[in-house]
Chains A and B, each alone.
Chain A
Amino acid sequence: MSDSRKDAGLPPAAGPTTRRRFSRQTWINLGLQLCALVLAFLFTSVILLVAGAPPWQAYAEIAKGAAESLTDVSNVLVAWVPLLLAAAGVLVTFAAGLWNIGVEGQIVLGAVLTTLVLRLLQDTTLHPALIIVLAMIAGIVGGALWAALAGVLKTFGGVNEIFGGLGLNFVATALALWLIFGPWKRPGIGSMSGTEPFPDDLGLPTVGGLRLSLWSLGLGIVAVIVVYILLERTHVGLRLKAVGRNKRAAFLLGVPTWQYGMLAFVVCGALAGLAGGIQVTGVYHRLIPSISSGYGFLGLMIGMLILYRAVWVAPVALFFAALNIGSIQLPIVLKLDSTLSGVLQGALVLFVLLVEGARQRYLRRARVAASSGPGAPPPVSDVGPGAPADIPGEAL
């Protein structure tokens, strides 16, 4: 697990004596992040030049594609919602020191269970709004259960959550494909375009002629706020961080560690499942094979990019959504693939992590130099996957 995660996220000491240094440090950090941003754009520009496209025009096209019309802006917001949910979710697992790679599959399972409930209830006399609510709850439960599965594998099976999550992602995708081409196929022939669309009244209400639903937007924003409060203002969040930074010490200090690990998985899975539910009820109105659209992985990237600080989720997710929507134009206008947004997003994450890594190195050197007392640099405490009740070796 990366060093930067362990060291990041804690505000420096802000006592009266250190306040001046603190603000200077903030400026330096901000400058470094800006530096990373510039480097990412430079890197992407080089790629564009190699591909024979004028970088400036490409960026202009992306900006135009994301903000030219009201429809563009609303589409950006539509893409913003699942990113908000996924990124907020992975922040919870990151806090507990877990790499929930399985977030992608959790979105799929959320979508599958939402679809299931909609299919079961669409012909009943229940009020459509009630059906939607039930379907969304089913989606939340689906995502949470899929995440809990990864958690159980980790806690009781000793399967690293990265491998467990990766495996479960494949299973989730396979499950969705099987449903689309099997039991839930359209009358006649199953197709990549997904299941039979649901009637309009089983979709979230949208604004005017746009695809944007204020309900889903609201849910996304509320989720981010809730996660922020959870991590920064509650004892639950503090315990999650303690588990993430030193599982053994947290256990000895009285935190039920594996339970908190599971809690992190379940909270993240619930948010991912909600994202899946929103994709079904608010965007596609059916289950499609690529229902998660990579939002889970993008959420992980956002989590890393913002160095696990919840305040930054909303703006960075918006930026990523704008890149995604903006680059849809590129193939038509510049004969470039729309995956250019992915290149830029990936480059951003890499450069931010690189700059952060360099900063941590510098800080650690300064810290090691500053500690004249006995003792080695802070130990790397990777408690690793495993039994919740493992006892340490008897004095080595």
Chain B
Amino acid sequence: MINKKAGFTLAEIMVAIVVGSISILAAFSAYNYFQKSYQSISQKAAINGTAREALAMLARDLRNTGYHHVDFANYNCEGLRESQYDYIGIGQKGRTNGYYGQADGLTIFYSISAKERIRIQYFVTKHQNSSDWYLKRVVNINPVGHSRSGCGAWTRNYNMPVDDEILVPYLEDFQIIPKDKDGNVLFPVCTSCSNYENSYGGQVKSKENMKKVHTVDVYLTLRSPKEVYNKAQVTKIINGESPYGSNINVPADKYYRETFFVSVHTRNLAKPIAISEKTGTSIGQTSSYNK
């Protein structure tokens, strides 16, 4: 036959095209699937990591809150009398903060030696020109200044060891709920009280409340840096009990959000007294420190 040429029949080509496109499609969808789960797992791992570190730091600071070295009253560089000590302050309602205007701020004090007292502040703030909010930590040694002789001059280098450190990026909510030993929420507990807190007794009531704080509940809601979901969805964030906590309706978006919680026993505020049944001797705990 003149026209005989070696080649494929139409049926063979059709089968090849079908088989080929199915396998390419399979490969691509597998790739897509891998890409998606990689994205979401790495995002979740990232916020898990930051939250874990931040909560560990918060827990340690809260445990030490209110600790005073036994010689602090006699030797502290700030020249403070015992009645002048602040222990813990929480900027709750009334001070609008964070992207949704409901985040809290936390200020805590404890001494690290007979001479020195530190103030640690956690607050939610915007970072430079970014529209995202961050949890920042600032540590200040002897914030009132050095008024006692033999204490040296106040220097930024020494007295502000942690200056505007970004602890948690992409923060959505930060709630601090102080409770007494029966589990009731204490309010107000503030060091620089707002009008709202002043209408509930302000500084005077706060000073009483500070010593009653037995546990502090900390809520930290973080958002993933990159979008994770295929479809936009609405999120509701409810942290802590109303009216002290937050209640946020987040408009639909594709970000992943997670709330981390820790409840810390403030060992130095509501102090326990244990009485021995055998001897009747009781042991009074005055303060404790966790390096």
Chains A and B belong together in one complex = no
Residues of B within 8 A of A (CB): none
Q: Give A residues with C-beta under 8 Å from B.
A: none
